[in-house]
Chain A
Amino acid sequence: MTAILTNLFDGVAYGMLLFVLACGLAVTLGLMNFVNLAHGAFAMAGGYVCAVLVNRVGWPFFAALPLAFVASAVIGALLERTLYQHLYARSHLDQVLFSIGLVFMTVATVDYIMGSSRIFIKLPEILQGQFDIFGVGIGRYRLMIIVICGLLTVGLQLVLSKTRFGSRLRAAVDDPRAASGLGINVPQVFAFTFAFGCGLAGLGGALSAEILGLDPYFPLKFMIYFLIVVTVGGSSSITGPFLASLLLGVADVAGKYYVPKLGPFVIYTIMIVILIWRPNGLFGRTATR
């Protein structure tokens, strides 16, 4: 029984992490309809920035996390302004090719600068080890992930639904033409959202170094996970991707624990079945644009 609860806890932490990693993609892919396979590259960038700051410069972990966010957001904003924005109107094939190219370049560059082996971030004492609550083992680090990601999710939901920017974004996504007719600067909104999504991915990358492992092939290895979150979760709100990430996290952890031999088989099968059953995702809207 306690094993089940511990697994559930780990799965939720994993899922939360996936959500933070992928929710930027939910906007670019789900809302702006841009197939960005390079999303993981931004996450990796954040992870490496954090690792360098903590391990080499000696910053405290919690101070490096925001910087991982900022670094990825800045990279994202730069790339959006220089490259991505020209491709919004292009075909999916072009977008796929472009972003795969970007992934290949990032992988090789990071490999060149940082080496190809897995990188660990030195964690502060307080995050190491685990404690028991009613016999259920709770990892401190995972608990922190759940807290941070939970707060972020609530914050995102509030920003999207309550603030002026949130309504602008929703308007720009629903109908870019009408939105720009109403005086909303659609490209600016998109650029800001893109950068913010990249920033979140960077933060996720920094947090995930401990759990998912950080090496130059990170963007390729986890690309499919991010895509699953978005396509299965749909794009009508951020609740869809959130639930999808939790589902994916719990299913993956449980799958690896109970049927370790099947490996990632479970996840892919679930994904294909869901996509066949509901091509627009579990919680998607009826038609994609």
Chain B
Amino acid sequence: MTTNAQTEVGFHARQHGRWHWSEFAFWIVVLAVGLAFPSRYLIMTEILRLALFALSLDLILGYAGIVSLGHAAFFGVGAYCAGLLSVHGLINEPVLALIVAGLAATVLGFATSFLVIRGADLTRLMVTLGIALLMEALAERFSNITGGTDGLQGIDIQPIFGVFAFDMFGKTGFFYALAVLFVLFLLARMIVHSPFGLSLRAIKNNPLRAAAIGIPVNKRLIAIYTVAAFYAGIAGALFTQTTALASLDVFSFERSADLVLMLVIGGSGYLYGGLIGAAVFRMLQELFQWITPQYWMFWIGLVLVVIVLVGRHRIHAYALWLPNLVLRQIAGRKAAVALTDNEAP
């Protein structure tokens, strides 16, 4: 019986883990968009960074059910780490610096994960928020190192592998960010479809039951939180490397809040949510800034309120209605896309 169940589970897990044709289509579209709008590299790079950041939150929110309001802490650590490495000329190779910055965030993630797994939702919210505020206060305190509100001065990013120099149009930056995002996306995809990822879903659905069938809940949560911190750190480092900026606002609360909004727009728990959400969010932001340059925050707030009041599931159903209608016409009933995620607690 057990072997039966095991093979059954394994079969379904593998089925789930296979690449769907729509995923290929997604990445082809991304690459095509990148090639099609050479004058928009800067904003597209920004979307890619946000996407990586949102992917990081999706790993803990969508797969492990940890609500975090302080994810900017890791973003900020990654950003400052990459900036400092460059300013002091410690590591000049961007890719290596990227990884080191990611690892720095990982260390912080691992250290704080023990605080986060304690307590229920509310305590988690508070602790994550507190950690981000703490990092911000620290960065302000040591403004001789971090440059304070003015930001780090003199960040100069060397060419990637000594070959591809960052140009002022952001072309290198864009393809660099795209490559990093894709590689990390593949990694995330492997993680969530592995037995480890499945156990996370079990924990998210019911931690008590998960513990009862022998899943070490706390260890798994620590692990995924640490991995997410690595991702956020890389996103932060990418931010610094592609903009040559790092200032106090990398830790800001708005950054964490916007991140949650992105994931909510895109939907959590299927990895692409963060990527789509980041793109939609950035477009919305651009639109709002175009309507009322100073008060775009109002519209972002309105979007949040409307999303919650209408209900996240219903919004996604509406958004998918037209694509599904088209898909059904072309490829028959089965091709319809549906989000089956049972979203966070």
Contact = CB atoms under 8 A, between A and B. Distances in A.
Interface of A: 29, 35, 83, 86-87, 90-94, 96-98, 100-109, 111-112, 220, 223-224, 227-228, 231, 261-265, 268-269, 271-272, 275-276, 279-280, 288
A93 B345 contact: yes
Interface string B116-128: 0011111101110
A91 B296 CA distance: 27
Contacts of A272: 115, 127, 130-131, 134
Nearest to A83: B309
A275 B303 CA distance: 32
B196 to A, nearest CB: 24
Interface stretch (B94-102, B137-145, B179-187): B137-145
B264 interface: yes
A112 B257 CA distance: 22
B264 A97 contact: yes
Interface in B13-63: 61
B137 A265 contact: yes
Contact of A275 (B123, B254, B300, B309): B123
B305 to A, nearest CB: 4
Contact of B125 (A96, A103, A268): A96
A123 B69 CA distance: 38
A141 B229 CA distance: 46
Contacts of A223: 253
Nearest to B307: A97
B298 interface: yes
Contact of B133 (A97, A264, A276): A264
A142 to B, nearest CB: 26
Contact of B141 (A102, A107, A262, A269): A262
B304 interface: yes
Contacts of B203: none
B302 A101 contact: yes
A93 B67 contact: yes
Contacts of A224: 129-130, 133
B130 to A, nearest CB: 5
B345 A108 contact: no
A271 B134 CA distance: 10
A93 to B, nearest CB: 5
A268 B140 CA distance: 14
Given A272-B127, A275-B127, A108 B137 contact: no
Contact of A104 (B123, B141, B304): B304
B260 interface: yes
Contacts of B121: 92
B295 interface: yes
B122 A35 contact: yes
A88 B14 CA distance: 39
B294 interface: yes
A279 B119 CA distance: 6
B284 interface: no
B52 to A, nearest CB: 21
Contact of A112 (B67, B69, B126, B295): B295
A105 B301 contact: yes
A108 B297 contact: yes
A231 B123 contact: yes
B344 interface: yes
Contacts of A227: 126, 129
26 contacts: A83-B309, A90-B308, A91-B344, A92-B125, A96-B67, A96-B125, A97-B261, A101-B303, A101-B308, A104-B298, A108-B297, A112-B298, A262-B141, A263-B137, A263-B141, A265-B134, A265-B138, A268-B130, A272-B115, A272-B131, A272-B134, A275-B118, A275-B119, A275-B127, A279-B118, A279-B119
Given A101-B302, A104-B301, A271 B257 contact: no
Contacts of A29: 122
B127 A98 contact: no
A10 B73 CA distance: 32
B154 to A, nearest CB: 25
Given A92-B67, A98-B308, A101-B303, 12 more contacts: A83-B305, A86-B309, A87-B308, A93-B260, A100-B304, A104-B301, A108-B297, A108-B301, A231-B126, A269-B134, A272-B134, A288-B122
Most chain A CB atoms below 10 A, which of B131, B260, B308: B308
B301 A103 contact: yes
A105 B302 contact: yes
Contacts of B312: 94
Nearest to B301: A104
A265 B305 contact: no
Interface string B306-345: 0111001000000000000000000000000000000111
Contacts of B130: 224, 268, 271-272, 275
A100 B260 CA distance: 10
A81 B70 CA distance: 31
B289 to A, nearest CB: 12
A35 B69 CA distance: 13
B115 A276 contact: yes
A109 to B, nearest CB: 6
B119 A97 contact: no
B298 A108 contact: yes
Contact of A268 (B61, B133, B260): B133
Contacts of A228: 126
A5 B14 CA distance: 69
Given A224-B130, A264-B133, A268-B133, A98 B295 contact: no
Contacts of B260: 93, 96-97, 100
Contacts of A280: 123
